[in-house]
Structure 1
Amino acid sequence: MENDAKKLLEKYLNGNSTAEESAVVEDWYLQIQFEKDAPNHAVIEESKKQIWSKLHRNRKSNVLPMLKMVGIAASIVLSVAVGFYFIKYNSSSSLQANTTPLKSILPGGKKAILTLSDGTVVDLDNAKDGQIANQNGIVVLKSKNGGIEYLIKDEHRISSGINTIYTPRGGQYQVSLPDGTKVWLNAASSLKYPYSFAKTERLVELKGEAYFEVSKDKTRPFKVRTTGQTVEVLGTHFNINAYQDEDLVKTTLLEGAVKVISPTSKLQLRPGEQSLLSTGGDKLTVNTQVDTDKEIAWKNDVFSFDDDDLKTVMRQISRWYDIDVVYKGKIDNEKYVGEIPRSSNLSEVFKILELNHIHAEVKGKVLTISGK
């Protein structure tokens, strides 16, 4: 296997490999599983720098499209300014000792707190499946797959009232609203909504990030209010990232149409477009080159980075692993590209950064990142 690997890599690096052989090499390194055969660490170390160089050259010349990489347990991402390159790692190396404290920090999961209109607080993580509450003719249910549903049982008894669902750091959750709209909440987010929508509109308030699949209703527009803007739709799929610690509020449209309104501007998005609003600003702009897969990767249980700097990466890590991040020493402004499963333990994630001379230590809930 090792000799075959060397020959195949030589052909690939010399540009003599067939399309099938090139695909083998790229799949081999980008999606290699623990149980698959692979060249040993020494062989990989010998060839990886040449491979980065080839990927870098090809990326510049557009000969080879930028590859999306899927990280897995016990795999390593080799991070450089142009991206991540996944390789199998020798677990007996000194890196393991450096990252051992991180093994105790597990990824987030389905966690949320539901506050009902009467002030009742329900820990959805510990609540049993089935009926949670009956609010004047509307039954609140926890489904078997770990989501919240609202069922109208008696229209004559329905009255107004506000519910709030909140996901802590390290949590995410799905809620199906009374009108049939489905909402996925990312970590450290909250959604405030009436358990019975008004006759003229369906208004909710979002803090943090959520993905919406809005049930169509031409007579009642669905509105999402966030800091500095309101998004109005009749029925469509879109994502809003409105974290207060981010520089931009981003609204990304996947299908249908949405209207985004700020105090000084208004625009309508088409599928594949994204509106941008500076935090604290009031003027909307449009990004027509948005990678929609990246914007909703979190909903598909993946971290996705595309030329993101370390602090941008770490804000996502902080929310999902419920940790505070501090920086020490010189942190280079290198960019990261790639994808990592959100099911990975924090120790696996930080093998990425260790290989790029970023060292991490954790004490309690504080993660300290030391640069070069």
Structure 2
Amino acid sequence: MDDKRIIELVILYCKDELTASDCSELEIWLDEDQRHREIFRDYLGKYRKVRQTVFYDTLDEREAWHRLTRRITGTGRKKRIMRYYPYVASLVLFMVVSVFLYMRGGMFSGRDVITVEPGSTKAVLQLSDGRCVRLSADSMMSLQEVNGVVIRKGEEGGIHYLESETAGESVLNTIRVPRGGEYYLCLADGTKVWLNSESELTYPVSMGGIFRDVRLKGEAYFEVTGNESQPFRVTCGDSRISVLGTKFNIMAYDGQKDVVTTLVNGRVQVFASGDSLILNPGEQSLSGANGIDVRKVDAGIFIAWISGIFEFEEMSLGEITGQLERWYDVSFVYTDSSLREITFTGAADRHRPLNVVLEMIEKLSGVRFELGKEVITIYKE
């Protein structure tokens, strides 16, 4: 069985669409080599980091392997697989895609290619007086704003605002993360913010007003410190998201039709074009000039980037290359515009070279990439 067929079987398994014949093929693959069990143990650990759920934090690896094989083998396979699906479907997909497509070496074998390195921790902080400070993973700093608030390198990395009881009138700071960058900061109220590539956040250095108002361009994940008397509000273009304390992701890049808000836990209220609604955990809103739409999603997929993982689930190649452009600071050129509509399911480590990710996509999507230093051309295979 070749790699592509194995991936096809895994994706069918994740969708609960395996036939009896498919199950038989998958059973043979699971039993043919002890190395597959080692792969499972290795990637179970990696997946714990991505999902960060109680199940993966407490699951015994040996028992998990036995459960997996029991569900796939034996009578009534389809029913058993469906029952076990909520726990391991995404894990198996991640494990097999990752191992067979970029852990076996030979990326773009036989082809002379340029290695494109991933993004890194970097940003530019603009203070209230207009000064700009470059930030990186190694930055050691201590600044004081005009109102007395101190800005320091935090223990968790990034920068941390230290509210002062004697702080004067609040002023604004802006942090800009370029293409090929990401950055973390902790606001004065304790709210944690992870900024993705090509993003900008403007915020008060102290939180003494009626509202805690920030403005976002790009993508950010927020863990908001609760305060019922002082709602936290994020403005993105024509949309506003209001919360008391919760965890959520917002994607609002220039050129997007809608602002995409994904709720991990708690509750948020979304406002756009005269409409408003409350999101519950596991829901995602698309808000813009045409109002607000809501859909159920796996929130873990949309926040995997903060753990250093790309996760794509039935995502178009056009959307995927948009993410890759921002993180690797490159441009993609399509020789056939229809290739943008190819859908893809898989996962990849954001901190590996771009070549690794592209080989995975080549294997599953029927396209070919030609790498240059800053421009990647996409051809139909």
**Structure 2 letter corresponding to 1:231:** I
Mapped to 2, the partners of 1:109 and 1:211 lie a distance apart of 17
**Structure 2 letter corresponding to 1:147:** G
Q: How does 1:298-337 map onto structure 2 within 5 Å?
A: 298-329=305-336, 331-332=338-339, 333-337=341-345
Deviation at 1:20, TM superposition (A): 8.0
Deviation at 1:159, TM superposition (A): 2.2
Mapped to 1, the partners of 2:379 and 2:270 lie a distance apart of 40
8 Å contact from structure 1 (residues 30, 70) kept in 2: no
Other-structure match for 1:41? none
Q: 1:230 to 1:27 in 2, by over 3 A?
A: farther
Superimposed CA distance per residue, residues 139-192 of structure 1 (whole angstroms, 9 cap, x where no aligned partner)? 011235431101124x33422211001111111111100111111111111100
Q: 1:87 to 1:175 in 2, by over 3 A?
A: closer
Q: Name which of 286, 289, 314 aligns with 2:294.
A: 286
Other-structure match for 1:98? 111
Deviation at 1:197, TM superposition (A): 2.5
The alignment's TM-score, normalised by the length of structure 1, stands at 0.76
Q: Name which of 300, 304, 308 aligns with 1:297.
A: 304
2:365 maps to 1:349: no
Q: 1:209 to 1:232 in 2, by over 3 A?
A: same
SS at match of 1:107: coil
8 Å contact from structure 1 (residues 76, 351) kept in 2: no
Gap regions ≥5 residues in structure 1: 1-10, 34-53, 78-85
**Structure 2 letter corresponding to 1:88:** R
**Structure 1 letter corresponding to 2:109:** Q
Mapped to 2, the partners of 1:310 and 1:348 lie a distance apart of 16
**Structure 2 letter corresponding to 1:206:** L
**Structure 1 letter corresponding to 2:121:** K
SS at match of 2:113: helix
Deviation at 1:244, TM superposition (A): 2.2
Q: How does 1:78-89 map onto structure 2 within 5 Å?
A: 88-89=104-105
Q: How does 1:79-158 map onto structure 2 within 5 Å?
A: 88-89=104-105, 91=106, 95-98=108-111, 100-101=113-114, 103=115, 105-125=116-136, 128-143=139-154, 145-153=156-164, 155-158=165-168
Mapped to 2, the partners of 1:351 and 1:31 lie a distance apart of 24
Other-structure match for 1:40? none
Q: 1:337 to 1:267 in 2, by over 3 A?
A: same
Mapped to 1, the partners of 2:31 and 2:188 lie a distance apart of 53
User: Considering only aligned residues, what root-mean-square deviation do their CA atoms show, in Å?
Assistant: 3.4
SS at match of 2:166: helix
Q: Percent identity?
A: 34
8 Å contact from structure 2 (residues 163, 189) kept in 1: no
Deviation at 1:16, TM superposition (A): 9.2
Superimposed CA distance per residue, residues 102-129 of structure 1 (whole angstroms, 9 cap, x where no aligned partner)? x1x1111111110000111000027732
Other-structure match for 1:274? 284
Q: How does 1:174-185 map onto structure 2 within 5 Å?
A: 174-185=184-195
8 Å contact from structure 1 (residues 99, 351) kept in 2: no
Q: 1:265 to 1:173 in 2, by over 3 A?
A: same
SS at match of 1:111: strand
Structure having the higher helix fraction is 2
Q: Name which of 159, 163, 170 aligns with 2:180.
A: 170
The alignment's TM-score, normalised by the length of structure 2, stands at 0.75
Q: 1:17 to 1:325 in 2, by over 3 A?
A: closer
Gap regions ≥5 residues in structure 2: 1-20, 44-71
Higher relative contact order (CA 8 A, sep 6+): 1
Mapped to 2, the partners of 1:22 and 1:305 lie a distance apart of 29
Mapped to 2, the partners of 1:331 and 1:25 lie a distance apart of 39
Other-structure match for 1:238? 248
8 Å contact from structure 1 (residues 214, 237) kept in 2: yes
Other-structure match for 2:212? 202
